[in-house]
Amino acid sequence: MKSGSGSTESTAIIVSRDPTGNTERRQFEDALLDALRQGAVRTVVVPHVYALRPGDAVLDRLADLAAAPSRWIVAAWLYPRATRWVLGNLGLATVEAIEAVDCREFDFPEACAERLLASAGASGTTASPGEVEEIAVATSPRWYPVLDYERCVDCRQCLDFCLFGVYALADDGRVRAVQPDNCKPGCPACARVCPAEAIMFPEYAGSTAIAGGPPDEAPATGALPTPECLAGDAGDELDALMDALDELDEA
Ligand code: SF4
Ligand code: SF4
């Protein structure tokens, strides 16, 4: 594989595809990649990072990239904090080595490419075009909590709160989402329980903060939404959980 030169030798740009099939976003990505080909930084295109699963071939490729002294500049259709911790939670790279940009912030793909190349320390007009490698694997939608370990204070409230075995303590004593796919689609409940705002659901539309973005302009008050993880047939346990959430809202 062709690598970059000089200061960009150990830097890769990762472009995370939009998962929705949106035509405008696809056109944005295509134009972005055209612009990035003019740079001297290797670019790897991957499926939507939040949809990746342990065992996906794309993770092996990304792990190879991370094995070398490497810095990643990642463009995704997510808030940057969410993107960094999605990759961090997958164990692919340390979040310190990842800079992320949100494609939604840019009106034009060329501006996004300029930003990515600048972060990578490369000019957009080099005589040695960068290589663009696409790793296309089929993915399906996922819904699971992403933990920000820079914020987590190890209180274990999420562990106690979740009834579905999503969380467990790891050997290092920290809470991990060990069975992320047990999480109930659409449920962001434990993100509201976390006292440190350390739990993100990157695709949650009801709160920018829970999605990993800026604080909500108007924090929710009064009745809680009815998260899907509280519906179903878990009976008394779920009633108790709902009571706990009500108390939280009233606090
Ligand atoms: S509730 Fe939040 S701060 Fe507490 S252990 Fe879970 S993620 Fe960390
Ligand atoms: S959102 Fe609900 S199901 Fe998912 S981890 Fe949190 S409490 Fe468990």
Q: Where are the strands (E) in 91-249, listed by range?
A: 98-102, 132-134, 146-147, 167-169, 175-177, 199-200
For ligand 1, mutation pick of 148, 150, 155 (most atoms within 8 Å of CB) = 155
Q: Closest residue (by CA) to atom 3 of ligand 2? A: 183
> Cβ distance 248 to 192 under 8 Å?
yes
Indicate the pLDDT class of residue 176, thresholds 50, 70 and 90.
Answer: very high
Q: Is the pLDDT of residue 7 over 50?
A: no
**C-alpha to C-alpha distance for 6 and 11, rounded to whole angstroms:** 10
- What one-character-per-residue DSSP string does 12-80 give? EEEEEPPSS--HHHHHHHHHHHHHHTTSSSEEEEES-GGG--TT-HHHHHHHHHHHSS-EEEEEESS-H
Based on the number of CB atoms within 10 Å of its own CB, is 163 exposed (0-12), middle (13-18) or buried (19 or more)? middle
Nearest ligand, measured from the Cα of 196: 1
Q: Closest residue (by CA) to atom 6 of ligand 1? A: 158
Strands of 132-134's sheet in order across: 98-102, 71-76, 11-16, 42-46, 132-134
State the distance from the centre of ligand 1 to the C-alpha of 232, rounded, in angstroms: 25
The whole-angstrom distance between residue 75's C-alpha and the CA centroid of its chain comes to 11
Residue matched to tokens 């595809």: 17
Indicate the pLDDT class of residue 248, thresholds 50, 70 and 90.
Answer: low
Q: Which of 35-44, 59-68, 240-249 has the highest mean pLDDT?
A: 35-44
Indicate the pLDDT class of residue 187, thresholds 50, 70 and 90.
Answer: confident
**C-alpha to C-alpha distance for 82 and 199, rounded to whole angstroms:** 10
Residue type, 159: L
How many helices and strands (H and E) does the chain possess?
Answer: 7, 9
**C-alpha to C-alpha distance for 102 and 82, rounded to whole angstroms:** 10
pLDDT at 249: 52
Encode pLDDT of 133-175 as tens digits.
Answer: 999 888 999 999 999 999 999 999 999 999 999 999 999 999 9
**Nearest atom, ligand 2, residue 189 CA:** 1
pLDDT at 227: 45
Indicate the pLDDT class of residue 56, thresholds 50, 70 and 90.
Answer: confident
**Nearest atom, ligand 2, residue 199 CA:** 6
Pocket of ligand 2 (CB under 6 A): 145, 161-162, 164, 166, 183-184, 187-190, 229
Nearest ligand, measured from the Cα of 177: 2
Mean pLDDT of the chain: 85
Q: Closest residue (by CA) to atom 7 of ligand 2? A: 162
